[in-house]
Amino acid sequence: MSSLFLRTLREDPADAEVPSHKLLVRAGYVRRIAPGVYSWLPLGLKVLRRIEQIVREEMDAIGAQEIQFPALLPREPYEATNRWTEYGPNIFRLKDRKGADYLLGPTHEELFTLTVKGEFSSYKDYPVILYQIQTKYRDEERPRAGILRGREFLMKDSYSFDLTDEGLSESYAKHRAAYIKTFDRLGLRYVVVAATSGAMGGSASEEFLAESETGEDTFVRGPGGYAANVEAVTTPAPPAQSVEDKPAAVVHHTPDTPTIESLVDFLNANTDRKFTAADTLKNVLLKTRQPGSDEWELLAIGVPGDREVDMKRVEAGLEPAEVALLEDKDFAANPFLVKGYIGPKALQDNGVRYVVDPRIVTGTAWVTGADRADHHVVDLVCGRDFTPDGTIEAAEVRAGDPSPDGTGVLEAARGIEIGHIFQLGRKYADAFKLDALGPDSKPVRITMGSYGIGVSRLVAAIAEQSHDDSGLVWPRAVAPFDVHVVVAHKSNPELLAAGESLAAELEALGLSVVLDDRKTSPGVKFADAELIGVPTIVVVGRGLAEGTLEVKDRVTGERTEIAVEGAAETVAALVQG
Amino acid sequence: MSSLFLRTLREDPADAEVPSHKLLVRAGYVRRIAPGVYSWLPLGLKVLRRIEQIVREEMDAIGAQEIQFPALLPREPYEATNRWTEYGPNIFRLKDRKGADYLLGPTHEELFTLTVKGEFSSYKDYPVILYQIQTKYRDEERPRAGILRGREFLMKDSYSFDLTDEGLSESYAKHRAAYIKTFDRLGLRYVVVAATSGAMGGSASEEFLAESETGEDTFVRGPGGYAANVEAVTTPAPPAQSVEDKPAAVVHHTPDTPTIESLVDFLNANTDRKFTAADTLKNVLLKTRQPGSDEWELLAIGVPGDREVDMKRVEAGLEPAEVALLEDKDFAANPFLVKGYIGPKALQDNGVRYVVDPRIVTGTAWVTGADRADHHVVDLVCGRDFTPDGTIEAAEVRAGDPSPDGTGVLEAARGIEIGHIFQLGRKYADAFKLDALGPDSKPVRITMGSYGIGVSRLVAAIAEQSHDDSGLVWPRAVAPFDVHVVVAHKSNPELLAAGESLAAELEALGLSVVLDDRKTSPGVKFADAELIGVPTIVVVGRGLAEGTLEVKDRVTGERTEIAVEGAAETVAALVQG
């Protein structure tokens, strides 16, 4: 380490909030160059390369073939699929010296599809799975958490090309199995959750989430094995009821009740019925805009009053459209919107699309706005007094909600998205007319699957799961070195010689070793060893005089004395066992 | 190969001029995505990765430490060194969603310097060598020859950081030795030539050029070992002569002699002396502009009339300034420039900087323009009648010119630049104040070396040197596979089974194998095998019935029959032997 390009830091970086970010910077793995743009120092690059190699091996094992596309891409293919526009400000765009438009690839569906079309033509060529491990770019609005959500990052992306839907299912299953092997080898705790497919289009879709409190993704799981990203949770609709036995809707003067809480309190104080927030129908106004359009359109969402609208779920449901909250000027421009007292009637009378939570079924009665200040209507019955324009998964999902598989209630947790697999179907094959000539000489439209792993993000995801108060604790499969040898006192030439010869012997046995031969105090060396997180630490210290070394297991914290005689073999057995 | 993502092409791509470009496209190694931007198909990526690994091993062997910088870089560091401006239109620039300026890194001097400054502070930390193998971007005006001069390409760049000039020399020598090992392992024919250091600044500088008729770089070499890029050739100046014994300068009426040839003919016909083009002094007018400036400045260059001005040499000499030829409007704006009859007097009287070829020394007498149409002056003596403002290496270098080392005459050849090493000195350390605290607690300014290898370009450079009329012929060290097994007739199940088992046995012996098990004609298979260029081809054909296989050496063309019994071991011995 006296010559290793590494300086550890005593202080957390000022901009770091999550443990992986703090530790990867403090331990000298990465350095920030610009927002969401990092360089990899020697230790970080070693971990990144080990992860990359495990991902590669498991992709090769399912017969996927590695290729590599450029990151600098011409506009035209992305124009053909409208993604040049749909991506909005989320991609980096640039012009070359001749004024031609380019982008830095955020994902390569277009290129994969065009490339397969360029090379393959017969049904005999299929199926094929191609992948790349390549640098990608997204101009994130809020890059965060170091390399966890960067603007330049390394991804493995693969695509399967099949003649039939059954073939696609098989390719999907192969990837699912390969991902499980990959993440198991990386020593991760993760869940596979049902997911929405986002801007990519397509049907079956699952995400691999590394469990982590600092994760951006919330997921839920039920006791029977159901697990889903909150965006993908479907709300079981209660059965429809008869509308005939319901009391008539009555408008009440409800002064000063612009919130659900004030409304429920007022009704409970001034009527002889007992209301809860769940009896109210809250109408939330949003506006949406299709990609490439300048026109905003109003959209009203009705949810039971005891739940908030979850904007991530709304966005997932409306993609690729853009969604925004209404501003004061929007209310001013639409005087029929009486803030705090909006009801279905004024919305639908004025041509505003009105979609509701799946719980709002025919026959259910609601307290909701009466479209006049200080007035609400009670017993407004769905299917009798109003008919929504459709349903939407907009209401927040809560721990304790019933699991859609009927096995009990959901619990909520957070995770980091580390992989995503989904059946893309024929969206891109249609866009580029990717056909194979069938055995009967008729064209067969190809169906595709899309599969991603966030390779550089995995470094952070593993660090989130593998650290303690003293520093990083790498799983053996990805550690930057197998063994960290600490020469406790460099000024003692015998210790230094013993450390150097142990390091050499370990390397001869095929292990990678970092040797701390610096002229620093033992305390600094031990602290750095803990911070860096190599799983096996060997201390060459005072015990040498009695013929012993100390081995510390960074995972368990266990310390063992071993004999100097045969120490390399003993350590190798510990590491490889 | 029935499942390999590969389709060979019978026709050369329309835009390809050089053999490597034609063959790498035809054999399915690379595909064009945009001008100078290529994707790597499976075979191409395998070759690229093998080259990359050899480069990495030789860098590791000299103790260089691998790191990785982003390609997306903020403007500020490049602003600090003025390269944001100096690069002009040669880099890709972009803005992020917040309007901040970025570039795609063409080279990373700034980042390396800043990173070392960020981590290291004491003299004990030095020397250090860092490198990366990373994707770079240059917005070339004329991308050409496929991956030979692309706009997105893979480079190894390393930097040495030393406390002393002697240390820098050692780091330079280490790199020079590592480059020789690297290019030797790659099986290249190459020369090491003296070079200029271009926009990077600095002193000692050598280029590694792969010998190739299609190369963009011209170099010269002398019998005594002298070799230089033409830009770096220094012209030996003849000794100065006395001006006193020279005849007086006389203006002659030389009607209709705007060219050197017409002038010499006129003088030989109308005087009693014998003149050659080498006796004339040709004055070439250019304009130059400093980076970031809008102001063009006139520059006149005087060269012996038997030589052309070599613009690449001029540009190298004037970097980082931009150089352009005069346009008609420039002549119109400067009426003292009498086209075809320009002499030193009018230039210097009008404040135009006048620099000359080193051959134009004190005491030499010249025929040159008299600044009047149809008039020339004879016996204009340097140091008596005019005094140049300096010298410049502008005249073309020719085969047959004397070698600067005095060992004979130069011969000229062409090459592809595959590596460049040079002593950068303190330019970047000065820009960023990169100091180490010395043992006496005084700051020591660090001195740097810069060393590049064009990794993706090497794929093309090797292909340029290693091909024949039938296709590519890869050196073993970089071939995409070790062995190409051709099953001549797939419809014969015995042949197919024998081919499959041979491939499996070879793989078990640690060799990489491509098996041609396609249902294509034997002719197509043999042609594809030659085109793809795996160095050892094994044909499983009719001979199988008699217990033999055919091995073809793609380099020598030699064909050998080997016994089926023990065939895998026989082939492995050939490959490894």
Question: Is a pLDDT exceeding 50 seen at residue A501?
Answer: yes
The token duo for B21 is 């470009």
What Å distances lie between residue A64 and A156, A161, A170, B518, CA to CA? 12, 11, 13, 19
The pLDDT > 70 percentage for chain B reads 99
A57/A31 Cα distance (integer angstroms): 28
How much is the pLDDT for A77? Answer: 93
How much is the pLDDT for B13? Answer: 87
A234/A256 Cα distance (integer angstroms): 35
Could you tell me the pLDDT band of residue A445, with boundaries at 50, 70 and 90?
Answer: very high
Q: Which residue of A has its CA nearest to B133?
A: A45
Q: Quote the radius of gyration of chain B (alpha carbons, Å).
A: 30
CA distance B89 to chain A (A): 6
**B250-391 CATH choice from 3.90.960.10, 3.50.50.60, 3.40.50.720, 3.40.50.620:** 3.90.960.10
B145/B127 Cα distance (integer angstroms): 39
What is the pLDDT averaged over residues A469-486? Answer: 96
How much is the pLDDT for A241? Answer: 92
Question: Is a pLDDT exceeding 50 seen at residue B55?
Answer: yes
B94·A93 Cβ contact <8 A = yes
Interface test with A, best of B4, B29, B41 (most A CBs within 10 A): B41
pLDDT in tens, B361-403: 999 999 999 999 999 999 999 999 999 999 999 999 999 998 8
How much is the pLDDT for B197? Answer: 56
Interface test with B, best of A29, A52, A73, A96 (most B CBs within 10 A): A96
How much is the pLDDT for B15? Answer: 84
CA distance A435 to chain B (A): 16
A476/A50 Cα distance (integer angstroms): 10
A180/A174 Cα distance (integer angstroms): 10
B500/B3 Cα distance (integer angstroms): 14
- Contacting residues of B for A89, CB less than 8 Å apart: 97
A435/A452 Cα distance (integer angstroms): 24
CB B296 within 8 A of CB B287: yes
Among B5, B90, B96, select the one facing A92 at the smallest CB separation.
Answer: B96
Q: Which residues lie across from B37 on neighbouring strands? A: B34
Residues 6+ apart with CB under 8 A from B549: B498, B502, B538, B539, B540, B541, B543, B561, B562, B563, B564, B567
How much is the pLDDT for B108? Answer: 95
Q: Which residue of A has its CA nearest to B147?
A: A70
CB A476 within 8 A of CB A482: yes
The token duo for B441 is 């607690």
- Contacting residues of B for A67, CB less than 8 Å apart: 5, 39-42, 45
Question: Is a pLDDT exceeding 90 seen at residue A265?
Answer: yes
- Contacting residues of A for B33, CB less than 8 Å apart: 69-70, 73-74, 111
Q: Which residue of B has its CA nearest to A60?
A: B42
What's domain A481-576's superfamily in CATH? Anticodon-binding domain (3.40.50.800)
B5·A71 Cβ contact <8 A = no
CB B485 within 8 A of CB B518: no
Angle at B379 between CA B375 and CA B384, to 5 degrees: 115
A73·B34 Cβ contact <8 A = yes
Task: Establish whether domains B250-391 and B481-576 are of one fold.
Answer: no
Q: Which residues lie across from A227 on neighbouring strands? A: A221
Residue B386's H or E segment, with its range, is none
B73·A40 Cβ contact <8 A = no
How much is the pLDDT for A179? Answer: 98
How much is the pLDDT for B569? Answer: 94
Question: Is a pLDDT exceeding 70 seen at residue B203?
Answer: no
Nearest to A233 by CA among A397, A468, A69: A397
B42·A31 Cβ contact <8 A = no
Nearest to B68 by CA among A481, A41, A7: A41
Neighbouring C-alpha atoms within 13 Å toward the C-beta of B330: 15
pLDDT in tens, A247-264: 999 999 999 888 999 999
A19-233+412-464 under CATH 3.30.930.10, yes or no? yes
Among B48, B90, B92, select the one facing A94 at the smallest CB separation.
Answer: B92
A6·B39 Cβ contact <8 A = no
Is omega for the bond preceding B320 within 30 degrees of 0, making it cis?
yes
A250-381 under CATH 3.90.960.10, yes or no? yes
A314/A303 Cα distance (integer angstroms): 12
CA distance A331 to chain B (A): 29
Q: Which residue of A has its CA nearest to B97?
A: A89
CB B92 within 8 A of CB B86: no
A66·B94 Cβ contact <8 A = no
Interface test with A, best of B5, B62, B456, B459 (most A CBs within 10 A): B5
What is the pLDDT averaged over residues A176-204? Answer: 83
Extents of the domains making up chain B: 19-71+106-233+411-464, 250-391, 481-576
Output the average pLDDT for chain B.
92
CA distance A468 to chain B (A): 25
The pLDDT > 90 percentage for chain A reads 78
- Contacting residues of B for A6, CB less than 8 Å apart: 119
pLDDT in tens, B148-180: 999 999 999 999 999 999 999 999 999 999 999
What is the pLDDT averaged over residues B421-431? Answer: 92
A65·B42 Cβ contact <8 A = yes
B120·A7 Cβ contact <8 A = yes
A5/B246 Cα distance (integer angstroms): 66
Question: Is a pLDDT exceeding 50 seen at residue A201?
Answer: no
Interface test with A, best of B6, B37, B481 (most A CBs within 10 A): B37
Among B45, B118, B137, select the one facing A68 at the smallest CB separation.
Answer: B45
Least-confidence region, from A137-141, A452-456, A569-573, B195-199: B195-199
A34·B74 Cβ contact <8 A = yes
- Contacting residues of B for A41, CB less than 8 Å apart: 67, 115, 119
Among B5, B33, B70, select the one facing A119 at the smallest CB separation.
Answer: B5
Among A5, A67, A135, select the one facing B135 at the smallest CB separation.
Answer: A135
Among B42, B72, B124, select the one facing A66 at the smallest CB separation.
Answer: B42
Among B4, B74, B94, select the one facing A94 at the smallest CB separation.
Answer: B94
How much is the pLDDT for B423? Answer: 93
What's domain B19-71+106-233+411-464's superfamily in CATH? Bira Bifunctional Protein; Domain 2 (3.30.930.10)
How much is the pLDDT for A538? Answer: 96
What Å distances lie between residue B228 and B157, B179, B412, CA to CA? 22, 17, 10
Q: Are strands A72-74 and A101-104 parallel, antiparallel or unpaired?
A: antiparallel
The pLDDT > 70 percentage for chain A reads 99
What is the pLDDT averaged over residues B278-290? Answer: 93
A151/A412 Cα distance (integer angstroms): 29
A261/A111 Cα distance (integer angstroms): 53
Could you tell me the pLDDT band of residue A203, with boundaries at 50, 70 and 90?
Answer: low
Could you tell me the pLDDT band of residue A183, with boundaries at 50, 70 and 90?
Answer: very high
Question: Is a pLDDT exceeding 70 seen at residue A332?
Answer: yes
CB B156 within 8 A of CB B131: yes
Question: Is a pLDDT exceeding 70 seen at residue A300?
Answer: yes
CB A239 within 8 A of CB A268: no
SS3 A314: helix
What is the pLDDT averaged over residues A46-71? Answer: 98
Residue B141's H or E segment, with its range, is none
Among B37, B97, B137, select the one facing A89 at the smallest CB separation.
Answer: B97
The token duo for B517 is 């098990």
Among B45, B68, B135, select the one facing A67 at the smallest CB separation.
Answer: B45
B135·A97 Cβ contact <8 A = no
How much is the pLDDT for A144? Answer: 82
Q: Which residue of A has its CA nearest to B4?
A: A65
A161/A390 Cα distance (integer angstroms): 35
Q: Which residues lie across from B95 on neighbouring strands? A: B101
SS3 of B33-71: EECCEEEECHHHHHHHHHHHHHHHHHHHHCCCEECECCC
CB B230 within 8 A of CB B220: yes
- Contacting residues of B for A104, CB less than 8 Å apart: 72, 94
Residue A192's H or E segment, with its range, is strand A190-194
The token duo for B191 is 């020369």
Say which amino acid occupies A512: S
A531/B79 Cα distance (integer angstroms): 36
What is the pLDDT averaged over residues A308-321? Answer: 88
SS3 A231: helix
SS3 of B59-125: HHHCCCEECECCCEEECHHHHHCCHHHHCHHHCCEEECCCCCEEEECCCCHHHHHHHHHHHCCEHHH
